[in-house]
Structure 1
Amino acid sequence: MTVDILIPTYNRPAALAVTLTSLLAQTYRNFRVIISDQTEDSNPVESGEVQAVLRVLRAYGHHIEVHKHLPRRGIAEQRQFLLDQATAPYVLFLDDDLILEPYVVAQILTAIKEESCGFVGSAFIGLSFIDDVRPHEQKIEFWEGRVQPEIVKPDTPQWERWRLHNAANLYHVQQRLGLTPIQQYKYRVAWVSACVMYDTEKLRDVGGYLFWRQLPPEHCGEDVLVQQRLMALYGGCAVIPSGVYHQELPTTIVNRDVHADKLDHFF
């Protein structure tokens, strides 16, 4: 198996079913799906809609693993648990509230193989903002030549790249440039959320998410920290067109007072 798709989930049976349904249509098929559920008072993976999709995925020949992983110790620990289950050379961390175009997994796998970098992301688009055009947030820096290591820190011009991933900015950029999956471009990022493929060995080399032990259960920014570490050593990027859409549900991480990437002793 070349790719393990790792899905952390919490109390979202319908959204999870939609996300899994997107995997059925992927043109790339050599993947395993590993789900880690941290819902305390119910079993959303046992819902009819999720089980129906899992049956079809299994019929397509995909191996499925489902773990009930409690107690909740925070999203970084949840991601580390999923990483510990992985055996494939690449892992795709996929949030449980996305819709993927059929080309997404193949596109980011091709990109990470081409660049031999730490990660490649496909940032999500919020189509409820399709009429909210923000030219001031649509600056994009394409990679010319191979993706190289770089250091991206808060309060630097590079940090401002995060604005490109707001709202429907990526959609507007790719529409304006007339991009299609055949015309894939790699661009520089501060970080990418929700749909990110990692080189498994490189992710483990920077410690993965083991820093969860130094965080309270309620935190965010775990992927930001991991990706900054990977960029510094191996480089990282995202691809456009994106092909990933956000279901735009309320976050399940309500308390965001502690940002993993803001803790100075991690740098």
Structure 2
Amino acid sequence: MSDIIDVLVPTFNRPAALAVTLAALGFQTWPSLRIVVSDQSDGAGAYAHGEVQAVLRYLRAAGRQVETWRNLPRRGMAQQRAFLLEQVQAHYCLFVDDDVILEPDLVARLHAVIEAEGCGFVGSALHGLSHLGEERPAQERIEFWDGPVTPETVRPGSAAWARHHLHSAANLFHVQSRLGLEGKDGDAATRTYKVAWVGGCVLFDTACLRAAGGYDFWTALPAQHCGEDVLAQQRVMARYGGCAIVPSGAYHMELPTTVTARAIDAPYVLPLE
């Protein structure tokens, strides 16, 4: 368990949420994390806020490696992710959004699965707990991997594309609760399932992500876009396979999105190949 995992956190104008996310990373049972934060916030930036400073001091005092960057001017989320990927030194890199709470064993569980499967990525979809009790049976279909994770091509509008509905609201939480997969039995409870993509918390094999082009397509997009994470995952999945795990262990803070211009959606305007 000595292998370092690089954790990549893009952030914009969310200092309080960022502090919560970083604190959750500090509590991870995986011992060797190198946390890299890329801030595009307005004004003095996230690192000037007391709550962020406090958590950064805690992380460093606890022996976590932390790097803080300012990546300006803003040129879109694909460029922000490309910048973070440039900083990666480790075999595996975990992209975590700045509004995510992680259970303490989540990084260890993601690592165990990607090692066992040898695939391009393993994700942990985000639970939206404000929707607990809001049943959406039509969106709660889950397709488990019964064997090894293998490459899949998933395109917008295909039958597999509809898998993304499972990750809305609290759908996945309802599914794992009904199946008795709340994580009480540790790693033995973890199962892999098929995805269209996973938002907010994804562990990549760094070499696979780079070989699939990473986020170099940012130069082909206007600064105002969305879906860059989707396109990158689908390119990796087509070549190396990808999956998500249940129980998830990641929770969404459900804050207003900071990506407000969504007319240009990367997987709809750029090719999968």
| Shorter-chain TM-score range | over 0.9
Residue 46 of structure 1, CA deviation: 2.2
> Quick one: distance in 1 between partners of 2:51 and 2:19?
6
Moved more, 85-94 or 178-187: 178-187
> Quick one: distance in 1 between partners of 2:26 and 2:197?
27
2:182 equivalent to 1:194: no
The residue that corresponds to 2:41 in the other structure is 39
Q: SS state of the match for residue 196, structure 1? A: strand
2:182 equivalent to 1:213: no
Instruction: Note the alpha carbon deviations across 1:127-168, whole angstroms, 9 max, x for none.
Output: 000021111110000001110011111222111100000000
- List aligned pairs for 1:123-202, cutoff 5 A: 123-181=125-183, 182=186, 183-202=189-208
The residue that corresponds to 1:75 in the other structure is 77
Q: SS state of the match for residue 156, structure 1? A: coil
Instruction: Note the alpha carbon deviations across 1:12-44, whole angstroms, 9 max, x for none.
Output: 100000101111221112110000001132321
Instruction: Note the alpha carbon deviations across 1:175-198, whole angstroms, 9 max, x for none.
Output: 000013320000000000000000
Q: SS state of the match for residue 217, structure 1? A: coil
Moved more, 196-205 or 256-265: 256-265
Corresponding residue pairs, total: 267
Q: SS state of the match for residue 126, structure 2? A: coil
Q: SS state of the match for residue 148, structure 1? A: coil
Cα contact 1:19–1:96 (8 A) shared by 2 = yes
The residue that corresponds to 2:66 in the other structure is 64
Residue 103 of structure 1, CA deviation: 1.3
4+ residue segments displaced more than 2 Å: 264-267
The residue that corresponds to 1:203 in the other structure is 209
1:238 to 238, 244, 248: 244
> Quick one: distance in 1 between partners of 2:17 and 2:265?
26
Aligned residue type for 2:64 = H
Instruction: Note the alpha carbon deviations across 1:52-86, whole angstroms, 9 max, x for none.
Output: 11111111111110001100000000000000011
The residue that corresponds to 1:255 in the other structure is 261
TM-score by length of 2: 0.96
CA RMSD of aligned residues (A): 1.0
Identity of aligned residues (%): 54
Aligned residue type for 1:198 = F
Q: SS state of the match for residue 178, structure 1? A: coil
2:117 equivalent to 1:115: yes
1:24 to 11, 23, 26: 26
Cα contact 2:60–2:66 (8 A) shared by 1 = yes
1:223 to 229, 237, 255: 229
Residue 264 of structure 1, CA deviation: 4.6
Aligned residue type for 1:172 = H
Q: SS state of the match for residue 127, structure 2? A: coil
> Quick one: distance in 1 between partners of 2:167 and 2:182?
18
Instruction: Note the alpha carbon deviations across 1:234-255, whole angstroms, 9 max, x for none.
Output: 0000000011111111000100
Q: SS state of the match for residue 86, structure 1? A: coil
The residue that corresponds to 1:85 in the other structure is 87
Residue 266 of structure 1, CA deviation: 4.8
> Quick one: distance in 2 between partners of 1:256 and 1:81?
21
Cα contact 2:101–2:250 (8 A) shared by 1 = yes
Q: SS state of the match for residue 229, structure 1? A: helix
> Quick one: distance in 2 between partners of 1:109 and 1:60?
21
2:50 to 45, 48, 51: 48
Aligned residue type for 1:255 = A
